[in-house]
């Protein structure tokens, strides 16, 4: 189909107009590059491939869960039960391993439980009509509780090296320094980016997040969309539970406690609007990596964990404030231009 010339209107270049502020997700990407360069220049051992592999692998669970979380937040939803699902999946894996299941059979079951947990979240949100924040705060407690029921206070740690090595930072994709969990993350990130930015599914997500009524009136199956998202989120969280278990060689009910906030923080830092309808997957990935790089740098420089948490917090506040501030400034400038 050829695009006809638009008579009576200015030609559409598709480029953003002048005077707009730099996009936040691009800014985070630039910040990531800057942090990387500064780290390389100032901190011995930062740019060693072994350190980079370790730094990347440390973000594996947050990074994986951030992918479906980005889709959720774009659609105006949030899933705070992901870390609990990670714990439940880990506990279940430990319990089943203890009971003599093979790894090949217990993993599918853990993933199934994850998907079902996500489906329950989605069902409560779409059928019962509760806000996702409330629903997933509830299931956050529920899934963590179930994890304790499944494994109690025990820790199961006798996973064989033949499996654990797939999650370690020393076993990398041949010819690169990239650990396998991160390689998988890269594949999934590309898939998620295509889904969000190049498909009808993604277009629908943005519409639902920006204005759910308008999406519904356009014939978009809003409820089904949300069910799919929450199910995906549960599935990925349970998979992250397996990765976590293997990476630390330990299955515990309290694995990944509080991780959901790290995920949400990374996604918001990447410029995804918590109100829904705005954001890019690239931004979210940059947010995850930026936090990972900063944590690694601070650790290498012997700066305490408390300071690391504060740095992340400040970044988050700045990331939420800056776009608002930019909007206010633009509006003021426009008003002045109109007055002058």
Partner 1 sequence: MSTTAPAADGRAAPVLALEGVSKSFGTVRALREVSLSLHAGQAHALAGENGAGKSTLIKILAGVHAPDAGTLTLDGTPVTFSGPADARDAGIAVIYQEPTLFADLSIAENIFMGRQPRRSLGRIDHTAVRSATAALMERLGVDLDPGRVARGLSIADQQLVEIAKALSFDARVLIMDEPTAALTGSETERLFSVVDALRAEGTAVLFISHRLGEIFRLCGHVTTLRDGQLVATEPLDGLTEDDLVRRMVGRDLDELYPKQPTRPGEPALTVRRLTREGVFHDVSFEVRSGEIVALAGLVGAGRSEVAQAVFGIDRPDAGEIRVGGAPLRPGSPTAAVRAGLALVPEDRRQCGLVMAASIERNIGLTGLGKLGRAGLVRRAGERARASDWALKLRLKYDRLTDPVGLLSGGNQQKVVLAKWLATEPTVLVVDEPTRGIDVGTKAEVHRLLSTLAADGLAVLMISSDLPEVLGMADRVLVMHEGRLTAEIPRDEADEERVLAAATGRPHTAGEAA
DSSP 137-163: HHHHHHHHHHHHHHHTT--B----HHH
Binder of partner 1 out of 37, 157, 190, 194 (CB under 8 A) = 194
Name which of residues 89 to 118 contact partner 1 (CB under 8 A): none
CB nearer to partner 1: give 114 or 277.
Answer: 277
Cα torsion 294, 66, 77, 194: sign = positive
Quick one: 221 or 305, whose CB is closer to partner 1?
A: 221
Does 129 interact with partner 1 (rule: CB under 8 A)? no
Footprint (CB under 8 A) of partner 1, residues 49-78: none
Instruction: Determine the interface stretch with partner 1 among 53-61, 198-206, 233-241, 254-262 (rule: CB under 8 A).
Output: 198-206
Looking at residues 206 to 245 of the shown chain, list those that interact with partner 1 (rule: CB under 8 A).
Answer: 206-207, 210-211, 213-221
Stretch that binds partner 1, among 203-211, 260-268, 281-289, 306-314 (CB under 8 A): 203-211
The minimum distance between CB 160 and partner 1, in angstroms, equals 41
16, burial (CB in 10 Å: exposed 0-12, middle 13-18, buried 19+) = exposed
Among 36, 103, 166, 201, binds partner 1 (CB under 8 A): 201
Q: Which of 277, 283, 287, 292 binds partner 1 (CB under 8 A)?
A: 277
Nearest approach in angstroms of CB 212 to partner 1 is: 10
Compute and round to an integer the Cα radius of gyration of the chain.
22
Task: Answer for the pair 147, 91: CB distance below 8 angstroms, yes or no.
Answer: yes
- Which own/partner contact pairs does 154-161 have at CB distance under 8 Å and 24+ positions apart? 154/94, 154/252, 155/94, 155/250, 155/251, 155/252, 156/93, 156/94, 156/95, 156/97, 156/98, 156/250, 156/251, 156/252, 157/249, 157/250, 157/251, 158/97, 159/97, 159/103, 159/245, 159/246, 159/249, 159/251
The span from the first CA to the last CA of the chain, in angstroms, equals 45
* Given 74, 110, 167, 204, the residue binding partner 1 (CB under 8 A): 204
Q: How far apart are CA 88 and CA 65, in angstroms?
A: 15
Give the nearest distance from C-beta 72 to partner 1 in angstroms.
18
Q: Which C-beta is closer to partner 1: that of 207 or that of 286?
A: 207
* Pair 114, 237: CB distance under 8 Å: yes
Which of 45, 200, 258, 340 touches partner 1 by CB under 8 A?
Answer: 200
Reduced to 3 states, what is the DSSP secondary structure of residue 168? coil
Considering only residues 135 to 154 of the shown chain, the ones binding partner 1 according to CB under 8 A are: none
Measured from the CB atom, the residue of 8 and 100 that comes closer to partner 1 is: 8
If one asks whether residue 1 binds partner 1 (CB under 8 A), the answer comes out as yes
Which residue is listed with tokens 């199934």?
A: 112
Binding span for partner 1 by CB under 8 A among 56-64, 183-191, 195-203, 241-249 = 195-203
Compare residues 173 and 198 and give the one whose CB is closer to partner 1.
198
Least distance to partner 1 from the beta carbon of 16, Å?
A: 8
The angle at the Cα of 285, spanning 281 to 289, to the nearest 5 degrees, equals 170
* Residues of this chain, 5-24, that bind partner 1 according to CB under 8 A: 6-10, 12-14, 16-17
| Shortest distance (Å) from residue 36 CB to partner 1 | 32
Q: Which 3 state secondary structure label does DSSP give 172?
A: strand
Q: Which chain residues interact with partner 1 by CB under 8 A?
A: 1-4, 6-10, 12-14, 16-17, 194, 198-204, 206-207, 210-211, 213-221, 277-278
């Amino acid at each position: 189909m050829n695009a006809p010339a638009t008579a009576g209107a200015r030609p559409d270049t598709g480029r953003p107009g002048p005077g707009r502020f730099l996009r936040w997700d691009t800014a985070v990407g630039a910040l990531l590059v800057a942090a990387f360069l500064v780290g390389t220049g100032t901190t011995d051992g930062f740019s060693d491939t072994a350190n980079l592999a370790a730094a990347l692998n440390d973000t594996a669970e947050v990074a994986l869960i951030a992918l479906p979380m980005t889709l959720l937040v774009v659609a105006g939803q949030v899933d705070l039960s992901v870390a609990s699902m990670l714990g439940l999946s880990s506990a279940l894996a430990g319990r089943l391993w203890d009971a003599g299941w093979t790894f090949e059979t217990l993993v599918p079951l853990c993933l199934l439980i994850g998907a079902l947990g996500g489906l329950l979240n989605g069902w409560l949100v779409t059928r019962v009509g509760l806000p996702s924040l409330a629903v997933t705060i509830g299931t956050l407690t529920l899934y963590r509780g179930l994890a304790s029921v499944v494994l109690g206070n025990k820790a199961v740690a006798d996973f064989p090296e033949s499996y654990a090595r797939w999650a370690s930072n020393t076993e990398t994709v041949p010819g690169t320094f990239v650990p396998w969990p991160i390689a998988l993350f890269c594949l999934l990130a590309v898939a998620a980016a295509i889904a969000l930015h190049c498909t009808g599914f993604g277009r629908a997500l943005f519409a639902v997040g920006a204005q759910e009524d308008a999406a519904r009136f356009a014939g978009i199956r809003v409820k089904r969309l949300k069910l799919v998202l929450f199910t995906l989120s549960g599935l990925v969280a349970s998979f992250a539970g397996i990765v976590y278990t293997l990476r630390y060689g330990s299955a515990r009910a309290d694995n990944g406690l509080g991780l959901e906030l790290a995920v949400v923080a990374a996604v918001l830092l990447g410029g995804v609007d918590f109100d829904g309808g705005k954001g890019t997957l690239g931004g979210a990935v940059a947010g995850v990596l930026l936090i990972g790089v900063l944590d690694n740098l601070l650790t290498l420089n012997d700066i305490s964990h408390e300071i690391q948490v504060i740095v992340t917090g400040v970044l988050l506040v700045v990331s939420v404030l800056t776009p608002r501030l930019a909007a206010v400034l633009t509006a003021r400038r426009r008003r002045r231009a109109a007055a002058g």
